[in-house]
Structure 1
Amino acid sequence: MPADTFQYARGRGLNIGLIAMGWPPDVGGVPSHTADLAREFIARGHQVYVLCLDTRGELEPLSTFDSDVDGVEVRRVAYAYGDHAKLADLMVHDGLRNVILGWMAETPCDLIHVHHVTGFGASALHAVHDVGQPLALTLHDYWLLDPRGQLFGSDGHARDANDLEGLTADIASSWKHLLPSGGGAAVGPLGETLTDDLAAVRAHREYALGALALPGLLVAPSEAARAVYESAGVQKGRIRVVENGVEAEDLAAEVARLRAAAPPRPADEPLRLGLFGTTLPSKGAAELAEAFVEADLPNLRLVIAGNRPSFHGDNSYVERLEALAAAHDSIELRPEYARSELAALLAEVDGVAAPSRWEEVYGLTVREARAAGLPVLVSDRGALPAVAEGGRAGLVVPADDRAAWVDALRRFAADDAARATWGSHESSLRTASQMAAELEGLYLDLVEESTGIRPDLRRSEPDGGDAEPAAPSAPEQPAKRGFLGRLFGR
């Protein structure tokens, strides 16, 4: 690529492209995270462009529509996952690849940061990389190692990343029709002929590892996630840990305001323990509810709020949870909540649990709880133990140990002093602003490595000094052309 492909001006900031599985008002951890990131980038003087999926199934497949969401140019592409005929189709989708190429041709991005390839497939990384665009990827879960996303087996236990026979059984339990034994075409992501189901899964993994070698910047939110990917074959040292940020101050202030405005709680009113977010089997909601029933605590209610989806078409886990709630008034199920409702949820509970049974990559809900000054009960999986800060902010409980969860619930309900100590512990939570600042520096390195030019983001001051990165009110500059336009003179 010629060194003058990218033309940077002092104070203009970067044009950052984000590819994600969804965008607000879509609900979920990744849409919330990327929206926070976009807001912080805009505050730092950058422009953000988004390409994401619209999975409602209401529009012509692969059609696109544009909108402005809080100052971010968002293009949504209609795609509802209904066209997979073989396992390789999860990895390679020519139609969506062409959508990405068209978006890049029209969009003035200096780099593309992919935040999830679900739906788009790993071929999305090839689409960006193969035209020479600087490429970053954040690994928000284990989808590239396990198409079910969480390395959580159909047997109800965490799956080792290198247990390909177990992964084959898991995939067969969810999408038998995608495997050769179930009628799926015996063709791999590169067009290679496959001999059996295990060969299909091996080809899937090899293609994924090849795609993971493409980004110039490969990011994981935690050491735990990095370790899992490295165990699966990603080169050691390739993954940079960049912890996600939480809007701790704003959230804490709103929760405090709501608590102050609420009427005093009657002395005989039970405590409330919250479990927030999706209730997939890997999250352990039903197991926590069963331990809660066994603990038999009249002074404690369990409040479970979040979406209750089927697990790849299997509703048995949700039905198990709903049956427990129907039989026990002390278990309250609430529907999926909007992000604007989070502070109100946190204001009414006395602690938050995350009983996850998979190797949790980050643990957003309990970090939000800590921002609100709440104690946490977390499992010992993935990045969750760090949130309890060695027992100073709550308890770490073995994920699959029912008796240990019963004991932890009883202590939470009975030990007022411990709850107060855990809640008052001052956690050093990383903010969204800190996250964006770190990524900004990594973006500059990425662009320089890719193009030979390091963008200069600082404005010249009258006295010859340099100011901080340009604010959104900086003088308007001539618009940059799309990537392919700059590359080929369009």
Structure 2
Amino acid sequence: MKLIQTSAWYPPASSGGVEVYVEGLAQNLKPLGFECVIGTPLTLEQKSAAPQTGYYNGIEVYRYPSFAAFATWLSANQSGIYHQHTVRDRCGISHLRLARTLGMKTIMTLHMPEIVCVRGTMMQAGHTACDGQIEVTRCSQCLGVSKRVPAWVAERLSQIPPAIAEAGQARLRRSRDVRFRQLGTTLSTPAHVRDRAHQLREIVALSDQIVVVCQWLYDALVRNGVPEKKLLLSRHGVSSSGAATSIPHRSLTIGFLGRWQETKGVQILVEALQHVPRSLPVELIIHATHADQHGQANRDKISAIAASDPRIQIKAPLSRDAVPSAIAQFDLLAVPSQWLETGPLVVLEAHAVGTPVIGSRLGGIAELVEHGKDGWLVSAADVQAWAAAIAHLAAHPQIVATLKQGIRPVKTTREVAEEMAELYERLMRH
């Protein structure tokens, strides 16, 4: 059976969690009798180029510069199943709508929290975990609208068409008067929140099935009125499951793999280490990526601290192939995320090679790590709590050894593919 899989990102241009998931799914569907063709946009730097068709690791990939090019391609390459993995401008609701119009069975896998959170982090006011229910007043306040604005005013403002609200905000943002700039936020934000709720309803209407990869996002969708019969919980998997050989260390070696952005929390680790006595044997190895405009300042700050702290090593980013063996050499993998992750995949990759995780007690991390059994959970933004946890584990290495023994077998990408194959076959029967 031929399948269309689409994503706003795909290797080799990028290799985040969504890309790894989609490629792994396509590869593991092949032996099950499914031929996947990937549709993905060209990079922004290439958006004026002609469409490109080629192969990546044996999978056919069509890279399109525009929605018009995508529409032409999809119309000529219809299949029974259309499976989309992102809700972004260049692979989003318009693309899903077209597939539905063409008569395909449509599946949307939600890998990110943005569909229920305009902020994109599921952290209310940036500090506390949110339940994900979209409410105009509460969400608007989270995004900067004053609590002095009555709820009925926020509700009325939410009726403004988003395009008009954005235009008004843009004009007011240019004002030198902070009061006018705040007014711009007040005018536009409720409309953005209501538009997000509308987008969710449209995705539900356009999808035959919605796949979610973690329990908290499943629960948030139910709170927002998504029928459970349309939802399927299917957690991530990894390419292989089996402990790798590690090297004994004299000190507690903690690794970090992730982006430099503050939402990934590497700065929390580094700050916490400054409160851990240097008499305790601890080493932090950082393999961070994407030092772009969102992460460069954080990288610079951490590099300055590392320059005077020999316990911190900043090393080059890892290729995808090098990740498992690198994680296997850590005593602990740190996942100090400051937002609600839907995975993250790196937790499963750590468990697959027998490395315990010390992570934030938030979202998907808290679903995958059982505190005291196969890992250690810490209050996400509490630097002192992280320092205490690191010091405790460094002083008691037998605890880390026990955590390692508590790791259970990890779900594989083959199992994910089998779940999706069952879904595809069920949809095609109806």
Same fold (TM over 0.5): yes
Conservation of the 8 A alpha-carbon contact between 1:157 and 1:357: no
Question: Which of 55, 69, 72 does residue 99 from structure 1 map onto?
Answer: 69
Distance change in 2, residues 1:142/1:184 (3 Å) = farther
Query: Matches of residues 282-293 of structure 1 in structure 2 within 5 Å?
Result: 282-293=263-274
Conservation of the 8 A alpha-carbon contact between 2:10 and 2:19: yes
SS in 2 for 1:101: helix
SS in 2 for 1:358: coil
- Residue in 1 that maps onto 2:169: 181
SS in 2 for 1:294: coil
How far residue 273 of structure 1 moved from its aligned partner, in angstroms, is: 0.3
Query: Matches of residues 243-282 of structure 1 in structure 2 within 5 Å?
Result: 243-249=235-241, 252=242, 255-256=244-245, 259=246, 269-282=250-263
CA RMSD of aligned residues (A): 2.7
How far residue 370 of structure 1 moved from its aligned partner, in angstroms, is: 0.9
- Residue in 2 that maps onto 1:139: 110
How far residue 303 of structure 1 moved from its aligned partner, in angstroms, is: 1.3
Conservation of the 8 A alpha-carbon contact between 1:50 and 1:75: yes
Conservation of the 8 A alpha-carbon contact between 2:275 and 2:384: no
- Residue in 2 that maps onto 1:31: 19
Conservation of the 8 A alpha-carbon contact between 2:118 and 2:192: no
Conservation of the 8 A alpha-carbon contact between 1:380 and 1:396: yes
Conservation of the 8 A alpha-carbon contact between 1:212 and 1:234: no
Q: Does 1:240 align with 2:232?
A: yes
Query: Matches of residues 44-83 of structure 1 in structure 2 within 5 Å?
Result: 44-55=32-43, 57=45, 59-61=46-48, 63-78=50-65
Q: Does 1:200 align with 2:191?
A: yes
How far residue 50 of structure 1 moved from its aligned partner, in angstroms, is: 0.3
Distance 1:225 1:274 in 2: 27
Name the stretch that deviates more: 319-328 or 22-31.
319-328
How far residue 110 of structure 1 moved from its aligned partner, in angstroms, is: 1.7
- Residue in 1 that maps onto 2:85: 115
- Residue in 2 that maps onto 1:229: 221
Alignment coverage as a number of residue pairs:
392
- Residue in 1 that maps onto 2:318: 337
Distance 2:408 2:290 in 1: 30
Q: Does 1:125 align with 2:125?
A: no
Deviation sequence 1:451-480 (CA, Å, 0-9, x none): xxxxxxxxxxxxxxxxxxxxxxxxxxxxxx
Deviation sequence 1:54-76 (CA, Å, 0-9, x none): 2250x343731011112211011
SS in 1 for 2:307: helix
Deviation sequence 1:319-341 (CA, Å, 0-9, x none): 33333323322222233321011
Conservation of the 8 A alpha-carbon contact between 2:113 and 2:120: yes
SS in 1 for 2:370: helix
Distance 2:236 2:411 in 1: 7
Distance change in 2, residues 1:150/1:123 (3 Å) = farther
| Structure showing the higher helix proportion among its residues | 2
- Residue in 2 that maps onto 1:404: 385
Distance 1:350 1:307 in 2: 21
Question: Which of 204, 209, 212 does residue 220 from structure 1 map onto?
Answer: 212
How far residue 299 of structure 1 moved from its aligned partner, in angstroms, is: 1.2
Percent identity of paired positions between Structure 1 and Structure 2: 23
Distance 1:62 1:200 in 2: 35
How far residue 238 of structure 1 moved from its aligned partner, in angstroms, is: 3.1
Distance 1:347 1:365 in 2: 12
Distance change in 2, residues 1:19/1:199 (3 Å) = same
SS in 1 for 2:38: strand
Distance 1:403 1:430 in 2: 34
Name the stretch that deviates more: 229-238 or 154-163.
154-163
Distance change in 2, residues 1:222/1:441 (3 Å) = same
How far residue 381 of structure 1 moved from its aligned partner, in angstroms, is: 0.6
Distance 1:322 1:408 in 2: 23
How far residue 425 of structure 1 moved from its aligned partner, in angstroms, is: 1.8
Deviation sequence 1:369-421 (CA, Å, 0-9, x none): 11111111111111212332342101111212222211210122121211111
Distance 2:211 2:255 in 1: 30
Distance 2:414 2:131 in 1: 34
Question: Which of 329, 349, 373 does residue 348 from structure 1 map onto?
Answer: 329
Distance 2:307 2:376 in 1: 28
Amino acid of the structure 2 residue aligned with 1:117: V
Gaps in structure 1 of 5+ consecutive residues:
1-13, 79-94, 171-176, 186-193, 450-490
Distance change in 2, residues 1:152/1:389 (3 Å) = closer
Amino acid of the structure 2 residue aligned with 1:74: V
Name the stretch that deviates more: 145-154 or 416-425.
145-154
Distance 2:199 2:24 in 1: 28
Distance 2:379 2:427 in 1: 40
